[in-house]
């Protein structure tokens, strides 16, 4: 007898393969299993086997069960109720709740990390920042939103199996696409996936929202690596996020392009003050000089507020760590650049701003919903890879 959800969806059947996703400190990852029986007490499944060994997931562990159905990938939160080893081994899982919750995004703070010019160090900063934030006890999810040069996975040597496009198209569950990185950070590999949400029908968008919601359950802060430049895909990410970190270097072309981005946003009525990080500086004073110039110009000519939140020293070991595909805060933690990145993480935590209660009342939308509204509002259609 298949187990059905409220909407009549045939969720589980005996013999069906399922995934179990867990993010507890000890058991992390996506385990494969199979349904043995569906009973009043719960769903009986095989013990997962990993690298040829049985994985004894403990009683009480929270898991997310993912199931491939004719309608696409579905998931439900559950927990291990009973475990039997030995010859008749099995796990008993809590059955899916009968009542399906309306999807509401939990409002996790989302920070877009952006730049006017490419190659100024966005991805380097974001990878290190994520790890430094994790070391400060935050659960961080990094979303690769860079359409042209998505490369967080390369920077951290985390080969992706799937990416956001596979999730948006409904072929993969979000928990199959995420990869766990250093210090337990979660990386959602990119592609043009976030743009494609504009093409989703309402039902499919709700499915995506529910999956995003699961990700948010494991997350205290989300960082999005945007492309650089003035394209709409970049500005959409910035406006949909709660905060924007603008990375520049002291090079005049990088400053000019950063200012151009600020100008586009300010003229479009964007009001959230952008936070500037000056990367590749030779001294703290150089960072102050660059930031001062930008703050002054934005205030004076655009009546728009930006603030400096930190800098990262130019260091050959940063470049080397990128070549070695290990974050500098991990590989060369004693360097000034690594210290700068830790300081930046601490400053960011002090600022950590999600939507205020008032904002939530006015617009109780999460990041995905805001992004979709923005893309839709601007005329729809996905922006293709450049």
Ligand X SMILES: Nc1ncnc2c1ncn2[C@@H]1O[C@H](COP(=O)(O)OP(=O)(O)OP(=O)(O)O)[C@@H](O)[C@H]1O
**Residues near ligand X, by CB under 6 A:** 115, 118-124, 146, 149, 228, 279-280, 312, 314-315, 318-319, 322, 337
Work out how close the CB of 2 gets to Mg ion at its nearest, in angstroms, rounded to a whole number: 46
Distance CA 200, CA 221 (A): 26
Burial class (CB in 10 A: 0-12, 13-18, 19+), 202: exposed
Q: Residue 144: which of ligand X, Mg ion, none does it interact with, CB under 5 to 8 A by kind?
A: none
Q: Which residues contact 325 (CB under 8 A, 6 or more apart)?
A: 154, 155, 156, 157
Q: How many residues does the chain have?
A: 386
> 103, 204 in Cβ contact below 8 A?
no
Taken in order 49, 52, 54, 55, the sign of the CA dihedral is: negative
Q: Residue 121: which of ligand X, Mg ion, none does it interact with, CB under 5 to 8 A by kind?
A: ligand X
Decide: is 236 part of the binding site for Mg ion (CB under 5 A): no
Q: Which is nearer to Mg ion, 45 or 188 (CB)?
A: 188
Q: Residue 115: which of Mg ion, ligand X, none does it interact with, CB under 5 to 8 A by kind?
A: ligand X
Q: Measured between alpha carbons, how far is residue 92 from residues 33, 55, 259, 279, 379 in Å?
A: 12, 14, 57, 52, 49
Nearest residue to ligand X, by Cβ distance, number only: 118
Q: Residue 16: which of ligand X, Mg ion, none does it interact with, CB under 5 to 8 A by kind?
A: none
Work out how close the CB of 284 gets to ligand X at its nearest, in angstroms, rounded to a whole number: 13
Q: Which is nearer to ligand X, 219 or 335 (CB)?
A: 335
Q: Residue 72: which of ligand X, Mg ion, none does it interact with, CB under 5 to 8 A by kind?
A: none
Work out how close the CB of 227 gets to ligand X at its nearest, in angstroms, rounded to a whole number: 7
Work out how close the CB of 231 gets to ligand X at its nearest, in angstroms, rounded to a whole number: 12
Work out how close the CB of 279 gets to Mg ion at its nearest, in angstroms, rounded to a whole number: 12
Work out how close the CB of 323 gets to ligand X at its nearest, in angstroms, rounded to a whole number: 7
SS3 content of the chain, % helix, strand, coil (to 5): 35, 25, 35
> DSSP secondary-structure letter at 183?
G
Q: Residue 145: which of Mg ion, ligand X, none does it interact with, CB under 5 to 8 A by kind?
A: none
Segment 112 to 131, residues that bind Mg ion, using CB under 5 A: 122-123
Q: Which is nearer to ligand X, 146 or 196 (CB)?
A: 146
Q: Measured between alpha carbons, how far is residue 175 from residues 9, 65, 122, 188, 269 in Å?
A: 20, 10, 25, 9, 36
Interface with Mg ion (CB under 5 A): 122-123
């Amino acid at each position: 007898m298949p187990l059905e959800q409220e909407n009549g969806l045939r969720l589980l059947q005996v013999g069906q393969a399922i995934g179990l996703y867990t993010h507890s400190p000890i058991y992390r990852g996506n385990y494969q299993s199979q349904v043995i029986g569906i009973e009043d007490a719960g769903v009986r499944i095989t013990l997962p086997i990993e690298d040829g060994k049985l994985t004894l997931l403990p009683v009480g562990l929270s898991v997310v069960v993912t199931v491939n159905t004719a309608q696409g990938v579905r998931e439900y939160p559950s927990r291990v109720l009973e475990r039997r080893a030995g010859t008749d081994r099995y796990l008993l899982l809590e059955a899916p709740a009968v009542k399906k919750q309306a999807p509401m995004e939990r409002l996790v703070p989302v920070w877009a990390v952006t730049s006017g010019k490419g190659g100024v160090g966005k991805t380097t900063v974001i990878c290190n920042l994520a790890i430094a934030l994790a070391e400060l006890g935050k659960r961080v999810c990094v979303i690769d939103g860079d359409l042209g040069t998505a490369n967080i996975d390369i920077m951290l040597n985390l080969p992706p199996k799937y990416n956001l496009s596979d999730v948006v198209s409904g072929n993969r569950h979000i928990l199959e696409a995420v990869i766990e990185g250093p210090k337990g950070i979660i990386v959602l590999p990119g592609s043009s996936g976030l743009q494609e949400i504009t093409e989703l029908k309402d039902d499919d968008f709700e499915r995506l929202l529910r999956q995003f919601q699961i990700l948010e359950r494991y997350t205290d802060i989300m960082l999005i690596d945007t492309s650089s430049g003035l394209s709409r895909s970049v500005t959409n990410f910035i406006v949909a996020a709660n905060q924007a970190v603008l990375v520049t270097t002291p090079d005049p072309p990088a400053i000019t392009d950063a200012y151009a981005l600020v100008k586009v946003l300010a003229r479009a009525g964007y009001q959230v003050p952008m936070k500037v990080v000056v990367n590749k500086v030779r001294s703290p004073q150089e960072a102050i000089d660059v930031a001062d110039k930008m703050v002054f110009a934005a205030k004076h000519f655009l009546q728009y507020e930006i603030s400096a939140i930190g800098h990262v020293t130019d260091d050959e070991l940063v470049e080397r760590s990128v070549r070695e595909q290990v974050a500098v805060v991990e590989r060369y933690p004693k360097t000034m650049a690594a210290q700068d990145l830790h300081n930046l993480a601490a400053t960011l935590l002090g600022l950590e701003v999600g939507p205020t209660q008032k904002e939530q009342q006015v617009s109780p939308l999460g990041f995905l919903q805001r992004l979709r509204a923005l893309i839709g509002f601007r005329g729809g259609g996905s922006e293709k890879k450049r």
